[in-house]
Amino acid sequence: MSMKARTLVLCPLLLLATGCAAGEPEPAGPPRPGADNPCAPGGTPRPPRQHVVATTVTPDGQIVDWIPVESQTPDGKIATPPAGPTGPEGANPPPPASPDGAAPARSPAATTVQLGPRGPAGTVPVLRPRRPQCDCLPGYVQQADGSCAALASRCSGEGGMASSKSFTTCCPDLTPIASMERVDGACVTTAPDAHLCAKCGDGACGAGENDCNCPGDCGGARP
């Protein structure tokens, strides 16, 4: 047997030990959560803003994207701003001078934002968020910082309260109903900005349910 033939026979047997056969490199493993995807594991990075024609940086390091004015609305039509004051009677009076003769302090409304370089004509500035913005996957909920938290850790159980302000939702097997109580014979909403998580509709008057917010289960008339 020739040396070449002997090598072809032995090479498959010694592949792992000697690496004598050429082949494709082993595929790299999946990226660790947060390495290439700052939104992992509960989301994916939001696509970049569309229609950006220029990008600048403010003196404090904030990134500004400049987009065409007409791209702010689906049909490209922008409302005309109201006319400003035309006479002295419509103008704002000058701020009073301080007793010591010093120049009056500028009000927050009169303070201008330092945007740095301006974008092209016909564009408006849009500040780019400093933190990554994520599109959450099913089973996750958006948080204030743009990240995604597991719904299991952000859902309220039966009788609990859920609100967008606290970034909580009702657990999947519960229904959000109004938080109401009967006061002096009338149904009054006790938490306008929140919902109560209940099993309204199962035929039993459960935790948090009453004749105001779940009359079908608690034997009342809907207000």
- pLDDT number for residue 162: 86
CA atoms within 13 A on the CB side of 222: 5
Token duo for residue 13: 């047997």
pLDDT at 111 exceeding the cut of 50: no
Residue 156: other Cβ atoms inside 10 A: 20
Q: How wide is the angle at C-alpha 16 spanned by C-alphas 13 and 18, nearest 5°?
A: 85
Least confident of 181-185, 198-202, 209-213: 181-185
- Provide the whole-model pTM: 0.41
Residue 126 near residue 113 (C-beta atoms within 8 A): no
The confidence band for 3, taking pLDDT boundaries of 50, 70 and 90, is low
pLDDT at 117 exceeding the cut of 80: yes
Q: What is the largest CA-CA distance in the chain?
A: 110
- The residue ranking higher by pLDDT, 173 or 164, is 173
Average pLDDT for 207-211: 90
Radius of gyration of the chain (CA): 32
Least confident of 83-87, 88-92, 155-159: 88-92
Kindly give the pairing relationship between strand 169-170 and strand 155-156. parallel
Average pLDDT for 82-89: 65
Most confident of 23-32, 94-103, 124-133: 124-133
